[in-house]
Amino acid sequence: MSVLRHHKLLINMFFLRKNTFIILCFAVIYTTANAQINRNTWTVGGSFNLGVDMGTTAGALNHFLIQPKVGYFPIKHLHAGAIVLVDYQKIGFREATLQTGYGPFLRYYIKTPKKISPYINTEVIFTSFQEFFYNGDGSSNSFVSPRETLIRPGIGLAIFLTPHIALENQINFEYATTDKIRYGEWSVLQFSVGFQIHFYHIGKL
């Protein structure tokens, strides 16, 4: 092989690799830019709250709430998945509560030209509730309350800080019901802030 031919082959290989690299870069950019709410996108995220009462009274409240989520887009804009709830509150020095639960969620995103996507959200969470009472001698008693079902229709706003990370602001109307009639039913308006990480799976759309 002549030196000139060898150089031409090297130049062709260079441009082929360069073009391939450029095509891959555009493909990654395109995929990333459209990863947020496309089909075959997996997500993980949730919300976290931590509250500490700095007071020294017996009624001081410490509150820990975490709600992790994992989801999937079966079709474009439609997001479905599972949510887990862990809610711990300590009231003063002698009382604490622990609520745990799990359930499905369903969400529909409304696409806009900007990096902001409003959505409609529904969650159903099946929970159990425990109360703990601490005695002066160091012992404790616990009581298990009836199971609760939390139904949460709501609306929210996803702000995509990057193509893969979204900050979520959500308002829920929470309706709770128990399996015991005497405990009744109640409702509350909630506001939560969380995040979602979007992982795009390249496949047939």
The per-residue pLDDT for 78 is: 96
Q: What is the dihedral of CA 195, 199, 107, 76, to 10 degrees?
A: 140
Instruction: Look over the chain and give the mean of its residue pLDDT values, rounded to a whole number.
Output: 76
Q: What are the tokens at 120?
A: 């409609």
Rg (CA), the chain: 25
Predicted TM-score (pTM) of this structure: 0.70
* pLDDT above 60 for 14: no
In this predicted structure, the answer to whether residue 2 has a pLDDT above a threshold of 80 is no
pLDDT at 114: 79
Task: Give pLDDT, residue 58.
Answer: 52
- The pLDDT tens digits for 132-189 are 887 766 666 767 777 889 999 999 999 999 989 999 999 999 898 876 654 567 788 8
Average pLDDT over residues 106-135: 89
pLDDT value of residue 45: 95
d(CA 97, CA 130): 6
| Of 102, 104, 189, 177, nearest in space to 145 by CA | 177
Asked if pLDDT for residue 3 goes beyond 70, the answer is no
pLDDT of res. 61:
62
Position 201 scores a pLDDT of 66
Q: How confident is the model at residue 5 (pLDDT cuts 50, 70, 90)?
A: very low
Higher-pLDDT residue of 193, 182: 193
pLDDT of residue 10 exceeding 80:
no
How distant, in Å, are the alpha carbons of 31, 32, 37, 73 from that of 201? 9, 10, 12, 10
Residue 79: is its pLDDT beyond 70? yes
Residue 56 has pLDDT above 60, yes or no: no
